[in-house]
């Protein structure tokens, strides 16, 4: 009945609902359809089967369904950041599979609601300040964080080291003979920027600050930064972008200016979002295992809620390169 209700609310077939709720991949349906299905599922407190849902609705078995809040620590609008959008969807699927529902979604600039205290646990997405974490812990002690680098907080965390990801990307460019490598992304306390700098130092490559462009890592800011880079410098051979959205904007500019710009500029980035598979050329990027990170975060949180562990747990996932066709040997 739940699937039929969601299908009716989203205006799709029950089979489409089933595919989307069991697979975060974009091949299941369009983004707009997936959004409608997930929104409807959250609205009705979807559980994977009717028996689980009835248990959830029963006061006698109220604890059968877990109620979880999500705090988006760095995000103002989820749809504007494809990496966190895809990570959030993977979280929803993992929560559904574990008979848990999302009670509240709190964005970075919103005031924390007392309602978080009514949830049985909280998952934080993105780098969290000590102040914000303190506010969350004052409302709910069952917390797990998903971020790029360990924050050394006394909470469970699932990480994929941004510095290591950046070093992997830089080493790939350097192995292709590149030394004049520009950087577009956040430079303030940012692990990916640290990885960029470390790779240059380790390989005895001088740092040229004219090739470093600070952005807020949106597509629009990335485009502006790359145009500025091309106007002020003409001797870089490769660009390391801190995220795929920036890199995709750079590739679009290079494609438009292909006739005017005879030299090939290599582009590499981090995240491996779904859109990176559809660029021209296909984007070489560092894969961050979103689905696995979401699964382990949910597992850790539910385990802590059930008091099966009390010590702080840190799980680090390795990253890997997805070598496509946007990087070339330096001639």
Which pLDDT value is given to residue 13? 84
Extract the tokens encoding 132.
């914000």
Which pLDDT value is given to residue 56? 45
* pLDDT single digits (tens) 31-70: 788 888 877 887 777 766 544 444 444 443 444 578 999 9
Residues 83 and 243 sit within 8 Å (Cβ to Cβ): yes
178 vs 176: CA distance, rounded Å: 6
Using the structure block, give the residue that is written with the tokens 């934080």.
Answer: 124
Extract the tokens encoding 73.
């620590």
Q: Backbone phi, then psi, for 197, in 5-degree steps?
A: -65, -45
Which among 162, 173, 186 is positioned nearest to 240, based on CA atoms?
173
- Strands 284-287 and 320-322 turn out to be antiparallel
Which among 221, 160, 149 is positioned nearest to 189, based on CA atoms?
149
Tell me if residue 129 falls in helix, strand or coil: coil
* pLDDT single digits (tens) 181-202: 999 999 987 899 999 999 999 9
CA distances from 143 to 159, 283, 302 (A): 14, 35, 10
Q: For residue 11, what pLDDT band results from cuts at 50, 70 and 90?
A: confident
Higher model confidence: residue 117 or residue 28?
117
- Based on the number of CB atoms within 10 Å of its own CB, is 224 exposed (0-12), middle (13-18) or buried (19 or more)? middle
Bond prior to 163 in cis (omega within 30° of 0): no
Which among 78, 88, 9 is positioned nearest to 43, based on CA atoms?
9
* pLDDT single digits (tens) 152-168: 889 999 999 999 999 99
* pLDDT single digits (tens) 271-294: 999 999 999 999 999 999 999 999
Which pLDDT value is given to residue 150? 84
103 vs 115: CA distance, rounded Å: 9
Which pLDDT value is given to residue 55? 43
Q: Over the chain, what is the mean pLDDT?
A: 88
Q: Backbone phi, then psi, for 215, in 5-degree steps?
A: -140, 170
């Amino acid at each position: 009945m739940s699937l039929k209700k969601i299908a009716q609310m989203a205006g799709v077939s029950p089979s489409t609902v089933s595919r989307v709720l069991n697979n975060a991949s974009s091949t299941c349906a369009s983004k707009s359809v997936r959004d409608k299905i997930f929104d409807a599922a959250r609205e009705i407190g979807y559980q994977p089967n009717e028996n689980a849902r009835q248990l959830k609705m029963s006061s006698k078995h109220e604890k059968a369904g877990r109620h979880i809040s999500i705090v988006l620590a760095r995000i103002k609008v989820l749809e504007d950041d494809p990496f966190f959008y895809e990570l959030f969807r993977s979280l929803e699927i993992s929560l559904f599979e574990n008979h848990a529902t999302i009670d509240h979604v709190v964005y970075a600039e919103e005031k924390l609601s007392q309602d978080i205290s009514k949830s049985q646990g909280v998952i934080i997405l993105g780098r969290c300040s000590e102040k914000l974490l303190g506010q969350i812990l004052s409302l709910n002690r069952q917390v797990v964080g998903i971020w790029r680098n360990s924050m050394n907080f006394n909470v469970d965390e699932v990480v994929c080291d941004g510095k290591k990801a950046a070093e992997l990307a830089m080493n790939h460019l350097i192995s292709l003979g590149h030394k004049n490598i520009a950087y577009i992304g956040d430079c303030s306390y940012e692990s990916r920027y640290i990885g960029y700098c470390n790779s240059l130092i380790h390989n005895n490559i001088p740092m040229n600050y004219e090739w470093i462009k600070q952005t807020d890592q949106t597509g629009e800011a990335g485009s502006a930064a790359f145009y500025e880079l091309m106007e002020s410098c003409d001797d870089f051979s490769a660009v390391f972008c801190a995220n795929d959205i920036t890199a995709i904007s750079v590739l679009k500019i290079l494609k438009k200016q292909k006739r005017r710009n005879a030299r090939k500029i290599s582009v590499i980035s981090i995240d491996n979002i779904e859109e990176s598979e559809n660029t021209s050329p296909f984007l070489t990027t560092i894969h961050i295992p979103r689905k696995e990170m979401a699964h382990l975060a949910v597992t850790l949180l539910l385990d802590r809620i059930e008091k099966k562990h009390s010590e702080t747990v840190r799980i680090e996932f390795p990253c890997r390169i997805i070598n496509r066709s946007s990087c070339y040997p330096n001639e």
